Amino acid sequence: MTEGAVTTGAAMGGSPLLDVRGLVARYPVRGVAGVRRWRERPVVHAVEGVSLTVAAGEIVALVGESGCGKTTTAQAVLRMLAPDAGSVLLRGRDITRLSHRELRPLRREMQMIYQDPYESLDPRFRVRDAVAEPLIIHRLAAAGAERHELVVGALELVGLTPPELYLDRFPHELSGGQRQRVAIAAAMIVQPRLLVADEPVSMLDVSVRAGILALLDTLRRDGLGVLMITHDLSTAAHHADRICVMYLGRIVEQGPASAVVHSPAHPYTRALLSAVPRRDPRAWAAPEVLPGELPDPVRPPRGCGFHPRCPVAVPECSAVLPRLRAAGPAAHLAACHLIADVQATDGAG
Amino acid sequence: MTAAATLEVRDLHVWFGLGHGRELHAVRGISLALRPGERLGLVGESGCGKTTAILALMGLLPPTASVSGQVLLGGENIMARGEATLRPHRWRDIAMVFQGAMNAFNPVRTIGAQIAEPMRLHATVPRKAIPARVAELLELVGIPASRASRYPHEFSGGMRQRAALAMALACSPRVLLADEPTTALDVIVQAQILELLRSVTEELGLAMIFVSHDLPAVAVICHRAAVMYAGQVAEEGPVPSLLRDPRHPYTRMLFGATPDLWEGSAAQPIPGAPPRLDRPIIGCSFAPRCDRVMGHCQEQRPDWLQVAEDRFAACHLNAGLPAAQVQP
């Protein structure tokens, strides 16, 4: 039914699949200790000016600690919440100001999978119903035979073969990895262009994680754009084309995955990388254990949000907010006043 | 080894009644020995029985569970008469840090009051000295003592995990059981907690069993590791040699499924799923997923063999070596 619309959309060309520009999302809070309500209305600064792009056939990882704003960013991308400023362009079209009616056909193009496949599937739905549900919501494939064919196709796509073995099972009869595959099948059945994956493997056993990531990789090769939210840098390093590192609502570093992992420019990225346990413990001799935890996003620090924990902060860091600037070749950017100095130190060390 | 062990587990079995006469054999005969000050990792996929095994040591399993085997604490079998012999030791000699630090605390009582609770129950510290001891414990785990009057919701995940550790240490136990203490935490906080567990156990001379599915986390803080599969220990040994030269295919494949940030090779999934534990398992439980399976693996359960100095494994690939005395 929307074939015509899809062709016109593709003909627009030029613009990336997803283009997020200067996204700001704040939540009002009540009853925060120490904030006088009649003077200022306290807000959580969840996302403060995030810009990123995802091209068709690209996996972009959004990496950061809990509370850094990565899930809020994803929710704003999917218009699950209205951003306070900035815009989200899907194939060149700004979706931030669209009405719900105008948005509905576009929802089909962006699907989401969640962290916990135990929670995201309805326990009373058989696999065939869970996977067919999006077809019903988007009023696609009304005829039973056609629907069945699409469900079987989606199960084959995610590697649940032979599909007949899975169609009539309930979620509790499936393993965690199989459940996540069902969730991916339900997302893929409406042929989205963008998949937002919020921690897609962090609840799964290590033995099945690699299989799910390989599946996302296959789907990407067929042209799907993937925005993967994760706190696991090892996953991002191996499976993403580009990595965006978030800290306290802002992107502090972004670039090709190998550049971010092998020559990190921001002190936060370097601390994050050093904290990742290695397969070989001898290689993890001295993690850079950062003092403290993420600051309160209701009252973010002045200047660079990372300066209270930063091992190399200078006075400027507590006064001036650093902008993203070139930190290496090929669109490798970082927001740190010390970029030149940090690199010089690295060379000397 | 037996004489010097702080905690020794001999042939521990746990069954869960499923009703209608059916039962699930969750822990199928494990034996472990923990030397003083030693940190032992218990690794495996979800459902392999690692958490069930340590809950059995604490006597915290639900009433549907039945347990057999011996748990020797300083030579005394604390399982001899069930709850009666276990209770005096729980929290006093053997304490536990739980998986969800988020939910381990009562939300309407202060952190300080909850850390004081085991001391009041067991009267290990004179009543008047309790506040000072709470302050001392908080400082030990890196929380300012002034925070004792705060409530759990005022603490972040990492702080709650630190407070949970302070509570476990309240009665100066000899053995600490830590069940996935870093699983829900971010990498930086995880690194902080791992470092804290290492330094605290070192400082207090505590022996620890660290349960985790995260092989790298076990590798960085444990001296030895026992790899569990389907309710049994598949392989055990000192961490460096276990990782360098795994003698059970499951250890090798689990290691291969773990992604590494700087290593070029992508992680390889292990095909298949662990066996159901509500049915008898014939032969080696890992045989259906094993990449080096042989004919008799399907029929014959492999013996627990000593494969090198201080190294044990249950795999037919090590056949020809003398059977170990440790596990029946």
Q: Are residues A286 and A207 in the same domain?
A: yes
- pLDDT in the model for residue A340: 72
Q: Do B261 and A276 touch (CB under 8 A)?
A: yes
- pLDDT in the model for residue B321: 64
A83 is a domain residue: yes
Q: Are residues A221 and A291 in the same domain?
A: yes
Tell me which chain B residue has its CA closest to the CA of residue A279: B216
CA distance B187 to A276: 6
Report whether pLDDT(A3) > 50: no
Report whether pLDDT(A345) > 70: no
Report whether pLDDT(B264) > 90: no
Contacts of A293 in chain B (CB under 8 A): 156, 158-159, 189
Q: Find the CB nearest A275 among B187, B258, B259.
A: B187
Interface test with B, best of A62, A279, A294, A296 (most B CBs within 10 A): A279
A207 is a domain residue: yes
A234 shares contact with chain B (CB less than 8 Å):
yes
Which domain-ending residue is among A163, A191, A219? A191
Query: What part of B 191-230 touches A (C-beta under 8 Å)?
Result: 191-192, 194-195, 213-217, 219-220
A7 is a domain residue: no
pLDDT tens readout for residues B129-172: 999 999 999 999 999 999 999 999 888 888 899 999 999 999 99
B69 shares contact with chain A (CB less than 8 Å):
no
Report whether pLDDT(B32) > 70: yes
pLDDT tens readout for residues A166-205: 999 999 888 888 999 999 999 999 999 999 999 999 888 8
pLDDT tens readout for residues B302-311: 999 999 999 9
Domain count, chain A: 2
- pLDDT in the model for residue B322: 60
Give the DSSP letter of residue A337. Answer: T
- pLDDT in the model for residue B102: 65
Pairing of strands A85-90, A18-28: antiparallel
Residue A121 is part of which domain span?
110-191
Contacts of B243 in chain A (CB under 8 A): 279-281
Report whether pLDDT(B326) > 80: no
Which domain-ending residue is among A176, A191, A206? A191
CA distance A75 to A77: 5
Taking the CA of residue B259 and the nearest CA in chain A, the distance in Å comes to 6
Q: Are residues A96 and A118 in the same domain?
A: no
Nearest in space to B240 (alpha carbons), one of A275, A286, A277, A282: A282
Q: Are residues A329 and A203 in the same domain?
A: yes
Q: Do A233 and B187 touch (CB under 8 A)?
A: yes
- Report CA Rg, chain B: 20
For the beta sheet containing A225-230, the strands, ordered from the edge strand earlier in sequence to the opposite edge, are: A110-113, A194-198, A225-230, A59-63, A242-247, A250-256, A332-334, A325-328
A40 shares contact with chain B (CB less than 8 Å):
no
State chain A's mean pLDDT as an integer.
Answer: 86
Q: Do B216 and A277 touch (CB under 8 A)?
A: yes
A2 is a domain residue: no
Distance of CA A102 to the CA centre of its chain: 24
B113 is a domain residue: no
Q: Are residues A250 and A311 in the same domain?
A: yes
- pLDDT in the model for residue B132: 95
Q: Do B266 and A206 touch (CB under 8 A)?
A: no
B319 shares contact with chain A (CB less than 8 Å):
no
Q: Are residues A197 and A84 in the same domain?
A: yes
A62 is a domain residue: yes
- pLDDT in the model for residue B228: 97
Q: Are residues A130 and A21 in the same domain?
A: no
A27 is a domain residue: yes
B118 is a domain residue: no
Domain count, chain B: 1
Residue B229 is part of which domain span?
7-93+173-318
Long-range pairs for B157-160: beta carbons < 8 A, 24 or more residues apart: B157/A66, B157/B101, B157/B102, B157/B184, B157/B185, B157/B189, B158/A293, B158/B185, B158/B189, B158/B192, B158/B193, B159/A293, B160/B101, B160/B102, B160/B104, B160/B105
B240 shares contact with chain A (CB less than 8 Å):
yes
Q: Do B46 and A205 touch (CB under 8 A)?
A: yes
- pLDDT in the model for residue B8: 95
A275 shares contact with chain B (CB less than 8 Å):
yes
Which domain-ending residue is among A148, A175, A191? A191
Interface test with B, best of A175, A206, A278 (most B CBs within 10 A): A206
Q: Are residues A57 and A146 in the same domain?
A: no
| CATH number of residue B266's parent domain | 3.40.50.300
State chain B's mean pLDDT as an integer.
Answer: 90
B114 is a domain residue: no
B138 is a domain residue: no
B297 is a domain residue: yes
Q: Do A275 and B157 touch (CB under 8 A)?
A: no
Least-confidence region, from A42-46, A147-151, A255-259, B296-300: A42-46
Contacts of A261 in chain B (CB under 8 A): 261-262
Taking the CA of residue B98 and the nearest CA in chain A, the distance in Å comes to 17
A286 shares contact with chain B (CB less than 8 Å):
no
Contacts of B239 in chain A (CB under 8 A): 281
Q: Do B46 and A290 touch (CB under 8 A)?
A: no
B263 shares contact with chain A (CB less than 8 Å):
yes
Q: Are residues A140 and A248 in the same domain?
A: no
B137 is a domain residue: no
- Record the pTM: 0.84
pLDDT tens readout for residues A128-164: 999 999 999 998 877 889 999 999 999 999 999 899 9
Report whether pLDDT(B320) > 80: no
| CATH number of residue A282's parent domain | 3.40.50.300
Q: How many Cβ pairs closer than 8 A exist between chain A and B?
A: 124
pLDDT tens readout for residues A18-39: 999 999 999 887 655 555 555 5
ipTM score here?
A: 0.78
pLDDT tens readout for residues A104-114: 889 999 999 99
- pLDDT in the model for residue B179: 92
Q: Are residues A72 and A221 in the same domain?
A: yes
Q: Are residues A289 and A333 in the same domain?
A: yes
Report whether pLDDT(B98) > 60: yes
A198 is a domain residue: yes
- pLDDT in the model for residue A40: 64
Q: Are residues A117 and A103 in the same domain?
A: no
pLDDT tens readout for residues A288-332: 667 777 788 888 899 999 999 999 999 999 999 999 999 988 899
pLDDT tens readout for residues A62-93: 998 888 899 899 999 999 988 999 999 999 99
A308 shares contact with chain B (CB less than 8 Å):
no
Confidence at A274, pLDDT banded by 50, 70, 90: confident
A177 is a domain residue: yes
B139 is a domain residue: no
Report whether pLDDT(B96) > 60: yes
Least-confidence region, from A7-16, A260-269, A306-315, B111-120: A7-16
Q: Do A289 and B214 touch (CB under 8 A)?
A: no
